[in-house]
């Protein structure tokens, strides 16, 4: 899920200037999901109309059709590809189709049991598009609702992952340029294989490559921090850090930066000084300088 340049620039500016960047991502998630909902509802209308008079499962016939992409089949059955891959150690299409059909049948059985349990509820979706309208039964409505829930979770997970992959390196480049770290001390060219999974590195005056880990996480995600500490970076930069995260970093002699603090970005310069990385003060207002830097990075 590629982010457009304006969104990436806005996220970086907000991160460095102690603002919540999540609204930028939530807007995109909502736009993608609502667009998906409209297309999906249209497909539901035509699928049910086409099946009128047939004694068959119109949802399975249309939405679990083996000719569809495997990712789409999985979602339509109430699963995602990651769950299937974890369960079967494979993402081959034939395995995805079998897992999806099995899950769809389990879902049907669960819904049948709920309806038969006499819970005295009645859910019916009525979908209209132009001059066409269909009414879904309780079971059909629940299947459609479940599919939409799974799809939103997939969009959400993919978007937050995209933010990390597409923003972390330019974020660090921006900070280096903000504090006037010479280009040759933060260029990411010619990395050895051992640095393949490293988010970023800076070079000390004595030529030592210093690992830098970036995690745009909240305080409630200690597992991610633990994984980062295990890689023993020299610098750990995050959106938010818990007191425990900070204590762990200090015990391991890792320089930490928490951006969601007043002037939290300034700890990056302290880390550079501590690690003997050349740098300098920046002149002017922070936002103005960030605008100049981001224009240089993205060329617009």
- 96-155 pLDDT, tens digit per residue, is 999 999 999 999 999 888 878 766 667 778 998 888 889 998 889 999 999 999 999 999
Q: At what angle do helices 138-178 and 22-50 cross, to 10 degrees?
A: 150
Q: Answer yes or no: is pLDDT of 196 > 60.
A: no
- Residues 75-107: tens digit of each pLDDT: 999 999 999 999 999 999 999 999 999 999 999
CA distance 3 to 278: 32
Stronger pLDDT, 204 or 119, i.e. the higher one: 204
User: Could you tell me the two tokens for 239?
Assistant: 């959106």
Give residue-wise pLDDT tens across range 1-57.
788 999 999 999 999 999 999 999 999 999 999 999 999 999 999 999 988 877 789
Question: E-assigned strands of 85-207?
Answer: 126-129, 132-135, 200-203
For residue 289, the Cα-to-chain-centroid distance in whole angstroms is: 28
């Amino acid at each position: 899920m590629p982010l457009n340049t304006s969104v990436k620039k806005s996220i970086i500016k907000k991160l460095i200037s102690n603002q919540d960047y999540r609204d930028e991502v939530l807007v995109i998630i909502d736009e993608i999901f609502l667009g998906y909902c409209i297309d999906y509802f249209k497909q539901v209308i035509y699928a049910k109309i086409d099946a009128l008079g047939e004694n068959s499962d119109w949802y399975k016939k249309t939405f679990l059709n083996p000719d569809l992409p495997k990712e789409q089949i999985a979602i339509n059955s109430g699963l995602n590809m990651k769950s299937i891959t974890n369960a079967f150690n494979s993402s081959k299409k034939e395995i995805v189709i079998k897992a999806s059909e099995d899950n769809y049948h389990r879902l049907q059985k669960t819904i049948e049991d709920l309806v038969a349990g006499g819970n005295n509820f009645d859910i019916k979706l009525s979908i209209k598009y132009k001059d066409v309208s269909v009414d879904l039964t309780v079971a059909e409505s629940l299947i459609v609702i479940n599919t939409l829930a799974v799809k939103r979770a997939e969009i959400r997970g993919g978007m937050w992952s995209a933010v990390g992959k597409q923003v972390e390196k330019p974020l660090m480049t921006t900070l280096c340029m903000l504090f006037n770290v010479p280009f040759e001390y933060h260029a990411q060219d010619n990395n050895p294989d051992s640095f393949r999974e490293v988010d970023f590195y800076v070079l000390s005056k004595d030529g030592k490559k210093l690992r830098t880990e970036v995690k745009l996480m909240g305080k409630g995600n200690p597992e991610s921090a633990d994984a980062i500490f295990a890689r023993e970076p020299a610098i750990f930069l995050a959106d938010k850090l818990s007191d425990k995260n900070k204590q762990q970093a200090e015990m391991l002699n890792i320089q930490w930066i928490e951006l969601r603090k007043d002037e939290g970005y300034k700890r990056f310069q302290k880390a550079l000084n501590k690690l003997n990385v050349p740098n300098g003060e920046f002149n002017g207002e922070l936002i103005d300088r960030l605008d100049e830097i981001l224009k240089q990075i993205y060329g617009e």
